[in-house]
Amino acid sequence: MSKQCRTLVCASRHLGRLGTLTPLMLIVALAVWVGGSLPATATARSAGLTVEVTALDPGVTAIAVGDRFTIAFTVEDSTVDTNNGTGAGTFPGLLTSFTMTADPGNAGTWTPSGTFDLGAASNFVTGAFGDNMAFQVRGTGFPNGGAGLTFWDITLGFSWPTDMIDSGLGDTFAEQLAPGTFGVPPATLMDGSGIRFDLPGVGIQMATFKDLHQEGVPTTSLFGLALLVLAVGALAWYRLH
């Protein structure tokens, strides 16, 4: 018999002594015991920001300075670093969702109306020495940014508020980020973030933007939801009895 099972048997034998322990308390205690016996679960981290275009490279005519866009994305913080070095981490497949919408009051005509390709998203890199994180998201079906300027990607870089920790190959994304959160201020959008277009024979032309509003909200794990449901159910049962 496992140590945990012996603990439950022992508890049941001495239940008569626990006259002051209500049924609700017993259920909550069991939930805590079960939670402590299960392995830690991965957590999806969601973040959102509103950006405003501050500068345009030559040829980018479909976007105007002052145009605003809202970006929301989710990363899976259990994704493992595939880079052996300790100065930077690489996390293939980190991104699980990404959306971008244009403000209806924009002066420019460009809208992110294509389909983002999460499989083609790249350069999920953390910099333990520079304390930053960057990635790019490509896609298909997006309108041109100007004459001959085809959509290339959305590039985002974040400056981290705390020291990143990189011990090499095998770290999870959450472990390297020190506080274990993503997109929570004072993490800030770095210079060089924006919408990029490709002009054949010339190269990348960009609409640079700055961050107006950013928020990060950890997504509750399924196990956390289960515990919440258990607690609510227990409270309802106790009140009825």
Q: What is the pLDDT of residues 16-40, one digit of tens each?
A: 444 444 544 434 343 333 333 333 4
Whether 5 has a pLDDT exceeding 90, the answer reads no
What is the overall mean pLDDT for the chain?
Answer: 76
What is the average pLDDT across 201-230?
Answer: 66
Q: Where are the domains of the chain?
A: 3-38+224-240, 44-219
Count CA atoms closer than 13 A to 54's CA, side-chain side.
Answer: 12
Q: What is the pLDDT of residues 161-204, one digit of tens each?
A: 777 888 888 888 888 876 545 545 457 889 999 999 999 999 99
Beta bridge partners of 102: 69
Cβ atoms within 10 A of the Cβ of 34, count?
14
User: At 72, is the secondary structure helix, strand, or coil?
Assistant: strand
CA dist 174 and 77 (Å) reads 5
